[in-house]
């Protein structure tokens, strides 16, 4: 009876949608039921993960010994030559956060002469940043933009006219960097060329994606408003690197159907001043759809801003191949176990081998019901655990960087699995959970290599392995009013929650992101200017 009452209420809620509302839903590839489901997620509130313990060396994180590197790299290069590799770079966002401190200064009306940045990093003095502008990769473009107004950078700098410089750097008065994608911001200055992250990702991919036929496959996700700029940069790159090099560069957008409805604090549809419904991008977790559409084989995933100049790439590329070689090794073992289950002979041995792999290699606890069950039940369990996409995630020692980390997470059914957990997924009001967070030793730099085909060679439907309850609810504002926004499960969090997961320790030298403009002054990035 109670179920019928709830069902009737839900039907009534759906009937309040106007025809105009439903048309808006359809424009985003959504149905009224989809929107009602999203509203229920808002009503259910934020859901936290239950941390059992952090993954540490020997307990969820693997240290690959140096004497195994050569074999892993050799096996990887064989697969690379056959054309199995592709690189995927999520690069949809604008560079607004990269220039946050400079935007704040530009809009500051106090005319504070100290120019102290609110950023906490290796370089916190904006004055030092401006003093070193002439060595930045984008300096020549900036100075050329300033010279259109019959002055130059040096004159403005000597006059301490910082705000005018910032206007030429950040707004459409000049370079408009705060509205460009980070992918297209000049990062590194070489003797004869300037490179953006787009360029650096191409050069890096040549070393571990390029096939024996000379083809290097990359896929970028971008925003529709940046497509023209992306295509111009792509055309320049293809012209620059055309001699003996063949890039296969594709791109896609986040799908409108992954947008989520905005609601007010009473969980009613949020409408703008012109009475239109407000939809928001569902976050990078929506990109699991884009990866799924690739129907690829082996996919490297790396953040857009974690790149290095050439003379520091050697270590980075080596460990990419080690990571890929480790994935291929585990893929081979898992595929062999699943293939053995298809055979009629030695069935008991195949099942025993599968249970040993799950227990010893994946470090998962096998339920007692499975241990005591019949052979068929054991076989079903092994297939359910092993017949999944595989991801190998590089982990670096935590040196205070914000973001996600590797944890053993306990689920509602009592099972425990390895997950990359963001801090927003942790209930900070529970001391026991905070204690587990403080025990964490490693950090997720978003350096993954993934196997996305099954043991028969068919592409997985990656959407089947998403934890749809692992989304985020955040408070935003629009037109001076507060709203609630729903983000889909993160790409390497909930969107890959039900994958077969391995965490492998990587050296910190492989993690050199550019989160703010100040990071470009770090030796790892600025040293490229001396070449």
Would 30 be classed as within a structural domain?
A: no
**pLDDT in the model for residue 128:** 79
Q: Kindly report which listed range (74-88, 210-224, 343-357, 372-386) carries the lowest average pLDDT score.
A: 343-357
**pLDDT in the model for residue 160:** 87
The dihedral over CA atoms of 524, 449, 98, 227, expressed in degrees to the nearest 10, equals 120
Q: How many separate domains does the chain show?
A: 2
Residue ranges making up the domain that contains 299? 44-95+185-530
Mean confidence (pLDDT) of the chain: 89
pLDDT band at 122 (very low <50, low <70, confident <90, very high): very low
Would 28 be classed as within a structural domain?
A: no
Looking at the fold, whether 156 and 213 belong to one and the same domain comes out as: no
Looking at the fold, whether 253 and 141 belong to one and the same domain comes out as: no
Q: How many CB atoms lie within 10 A of CB 55?
A: 26
Looking at the fold, whether 274 and 174 belong to one and the same domain comes out as: no
pLDDT band at 3 (very low <50, low <70, confident <90, very high): very low
**Token output for 479:** 């037109």
CATH of the domain at 507: 3.90.550.10
Domain boundary among 155, 179, 203: 179
Looking at the fold, whether 475 and 513 belong to one and the same domain comes out as: yes
Looking at the fold, whether 134 and 261 belong to one and the same domain comes out as: no
CA 166 to chain CA centroid, Å, is 29
Looking at the fold, whether 261 and 194 belong to one and the same domain comes out as: yes
Q: For 6-45, write each residue's pLDDT tens digit.
A: 443 444 344 478 888 899 899 888 899 889 988 988 888 8
H or E element at residue 261? strand 260-261
Q: How many CB atoms lie within 10 A of CB 177?
A: 26
Looking at the fold, whether 292 and 153 belong to one and the same domain comes out as: no
Buried b (16+ CB within 10 A) or exposed e, 272-295: eeeeebbbbbbbbbbbbbbbbebe
pLDDT band at 120 (very low <50, low <70, confident <90, very high): very low
- Is the Cβ–Cβ distance between 188 and 194 less than 8 Å? yes
pLDDT band at 263 (very low <50, low <70, confident <90, very high): very high
As a whole number of angstroms, the distance between CA 45 and CA 521 comes to: 41
Helix (H, G, I), strand (E, B) or coil at 115: coil
**pLDDT in the model for residue 7:** 45
**Token output for 430:** 């529970």
**pLDDT in the model for residue 13:** 46
Mean pLDDT, rounded, for 111-137 = 64
Helix (H, G, I), strand (E, B) or coil at 523: helix
Residue 196 predicted with pLDDT over 70: yes
Looking at the fold, whether 214 and 256 belong to one and the same domain comes out as: yes
Would 27 be classed as within a structural domain?
A: no
**pLDDT in the model for residue 399:** 79
**pLDDT in the model for residue 131:** 85
Mean pLDDT, rounded, for 155-179 = 93
Which residue's entry shows tokens 């997950």? 419
H or E element at residue 279? strand 279-280
Would 57 be classed as within a structural domain?
A: yes
Q: For 401-446, write each residue's pLDDT tens digit.
A: 666 799 999 988 888 999 999 888 899 999 999 999 999 999 988 8
Q: Torsions phi, psi of 92, nearest 5?
A: -80, -30
**Angle ∠(455,460,466) on CA atoms, nearest 5:** 130
Would 277 be classed as within a structural domain?
A: yes
Looking at the fold, whether 273 and 422 belong to one and the same domain comes out as: yes
Mean pLDDT, rounded, for 62-70 = 97
Q: How many CB atoms lie within 10 A of CB 68?
A: 13
- Is the Cβ–Cβ distance between 396 and 443 less than 8 Å? yes
285 vs 386 pLDDT, higher one: 386
Looking at the fold, whether 434 and 445 belong to one and the same domain comes out as: yes
Looking at the fold, whether 475 and 442 belong to one and the same domain comes out as: yes
Would 18 be classed as within a structural domain?
A: no
As a whole number of angstroms, the distance between CA 243 and CA 97 comes to: 37
Residue 345 predicted with pLDDT over 90: no
Mean pLDDT, rounded, for 340-364 = 92
pTM of the model: 0.90
**pLDDT in the model for residue 125:** 63
Would 5 be classed as within a structural domain?
A: no
As a whole number of angstroms, the distance between CA 372 and CA 276 comes to: 58
Domain boundary among 179, 211, 241: 179
Would 360 be classed as within a structural domain?
A: yes
Which residue's entry shows tokens 């003095």? 125
Looking at the fold, whether 158 and 234 belong to one and the same domain comes out as: no
Domain boundary among 151, 179, 207: 179
């Amino acid at each position: 009876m109670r179920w019928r009452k709830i069902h009737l209420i839900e039907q009534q809620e759906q009937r309040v949608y106007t025809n105009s509302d439903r048309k808006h839903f359809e424009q985003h590839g959504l149905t009224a039921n989809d929107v009602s489901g999203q509203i229920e997620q808002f009503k259910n509130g934020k859901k936290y993960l239950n941390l059992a313990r952090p993954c540490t060396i020997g307990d969820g994180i693997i240290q690959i010994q140096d004497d195994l590197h050569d074999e892993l790299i050799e096996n990887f290069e064989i697969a690379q030559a056959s054309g199995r590799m592709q690189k995927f770079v999520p690069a949809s966002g604008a560079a607004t956060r990269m220039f946050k401190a400079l935007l704040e200064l530009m809009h500051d009306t106090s005319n504070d002469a100290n120019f102290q940045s609110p950023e906490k990093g290796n370089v916190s003095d904006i004055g030092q940043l401006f003093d070193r502008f002439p060595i930045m990769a984008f300096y020549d473009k900036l100075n050329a933009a300033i010279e259109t107004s019959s002055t130059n950078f040096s004159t403005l700098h000597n006059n301490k006219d910082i705000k005018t410089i910032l206007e030429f750097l950040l707004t459409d008065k000049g370079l408009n960097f705060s509205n460009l994608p980070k992918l297209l911001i000049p990062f590194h200055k070489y003797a004869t060329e300037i490179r953006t992250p787009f360029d650096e990702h191409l050069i890096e991919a040549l070393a571990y994606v390029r096939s024996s036929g000379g083809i290097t496959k990359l896929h970028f996700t971008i925003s529709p408003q940046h497509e023209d700029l992306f295509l111009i940069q792509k055309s320049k790159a293809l012209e620059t690197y055309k001699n003996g090099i063949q890039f296969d560069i594709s791109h896609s957008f986040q799908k409108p159907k992954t947008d989520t409805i905005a609601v007010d604090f009473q969980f009613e549809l949020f409408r703008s001043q012109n009475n239109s419904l407000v939809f928001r991008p569902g976050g990078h977790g929506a990109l699991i759809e884009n990866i799924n559409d690739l129907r690829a084989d082996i996919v490297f995933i790396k953040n857009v801003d974690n790149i290095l100049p050439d003379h520091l790439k050697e270590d980075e590329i080596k460990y990419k191949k080690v990571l890929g070689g480790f994935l291929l090794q585990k893929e081979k073992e898992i595929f062999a176990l699943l293939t053995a289950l298809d055979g009629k002979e030695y069935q008991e041995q195949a099942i025993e081998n599968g249970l040993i792999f799950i227990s010893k290699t994946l470090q998962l606890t096998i339920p007692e019901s499975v241990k005591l069950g019949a052979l068929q039940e054991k076989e079903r369990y092994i297939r359910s655990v092993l017949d999944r996409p595989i991801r190998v995630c590089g982990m670096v020692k935590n040196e205070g960087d914000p973001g996600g980390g590797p944890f053993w997470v306990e689920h509602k059914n009592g099972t425990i699995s390895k997950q990359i957990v963001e801090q927003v997924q942790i209930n900070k009001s529970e001391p026991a959970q905070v204690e587990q967070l403080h025990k964490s030793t490693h950090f997720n730099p978003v350096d993954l290599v993934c196997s996305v085909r099954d043991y028969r060679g068919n592409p997985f439907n990656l959407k089947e392995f998403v934890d749809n309850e692992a989304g985020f609810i955040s408070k935003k504002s629009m037109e001076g009013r507060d709203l609630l926004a729903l983000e889909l499960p993160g790409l390497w969090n909930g969107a890959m929650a039900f994958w077969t997961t391995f965490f492998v320790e990587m050296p910190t030298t492989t993690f050199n992101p550019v989160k703010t403009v100040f990071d470009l002054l770090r030796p790892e990035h600025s040293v490229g200017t001396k070449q």
